[in-house]
């Protein structure tokens, strides 16, 4: 019965996303909440490698103890989020302004735009970086 409401709920979500005030949405951001939500939406099957990929996200404007997050992803296993260095070699370093990453993830802007404006930087495995749009699944309401 709830399945019948899915198109209605999705349409309301799309409407809300189109009409949200971006400036208000991008105030009072929390990197841990962003990273937890991103972790849940990583498509490990879209990673270019069958081995474990380690991706470090860094938000330089945050206090040192809140700045770095590591995603450990391997196809076929749940993605792990680490709040401290897990001790593995990092495949991709993502350095970003928290506001830019949040905006790109929820679909108020695109990764491509934020990278072009030097608000997100990708250093490391070029194949992993180039496929980021595939494995980092954005909000279902994001503007394509």
Give tens-digit pLDDT for 56-80. Answer: 999 999 999 999 999 999 988 999 9
User: For residues 135 and 47, is the Cβ–Cβ distance under 8 A?
Assistant: yes
Instruction: Quote the tokens at residue 139.
Output: 């909000």
**pLDDT at position 22, please?**
44
* Domains held by the chain: number: 1
Give the residue numbers spanning the domain of 58.
2-135
Domain membership of residue 10 (yes or no) is yes
Domain membership of residue 144 (yes or no) is no
Mean pLDDT of the chain: 86
Domain membership of residue 62 (yes or no) is yes
- Distance, CA of 98 to CA of 137 (rounded, Å): 17
- CA 56, 21, 134 angle in degrees (round to 5)? 35
For residue 29, give the CATH number of its domain. Answer: 3.30.1050.10
Domain membership of residue 128 (yes or no) is yes
Q: By mean pLDDT, which of 21-25, 60-64, 83-87 is the weakest? A: 21-25
pTM of the predicted model as reported, rounded to 2 decimal places? 0.81
Question: DSSP letter at 136?
Answer: B
């Amino acid at each position: 019965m709830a399945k019948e409401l899915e198109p209605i709920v999705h349409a309301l979500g799309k409407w809300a996303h189109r009409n949200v005030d971006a400036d208000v949405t991008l105030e009072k951001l929390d990197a841990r909440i962003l990273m937890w939500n991103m972790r849940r939406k990583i498509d490990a099957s879209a990673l270019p490698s069958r081995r474990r990929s380690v991706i470090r996200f860094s938000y330089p404007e945050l206090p040192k103890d809140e700045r770095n997050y590591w995603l450990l992803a391997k196809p076929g296993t749940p993605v792990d989020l680490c709040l401290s260095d897990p001790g593995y070699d990092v495949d991709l370093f993502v350095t970003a302004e928290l506001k830019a990453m949040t905006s790109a993830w929820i679909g108020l802007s695109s990764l491509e735009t934020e990278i072009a404006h030097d608000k997100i930087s990708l250093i490391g495995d070029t194949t992993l970086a180039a496929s980021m749009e595939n494995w980092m699944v954005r909000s279902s309401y994001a503007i394509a």
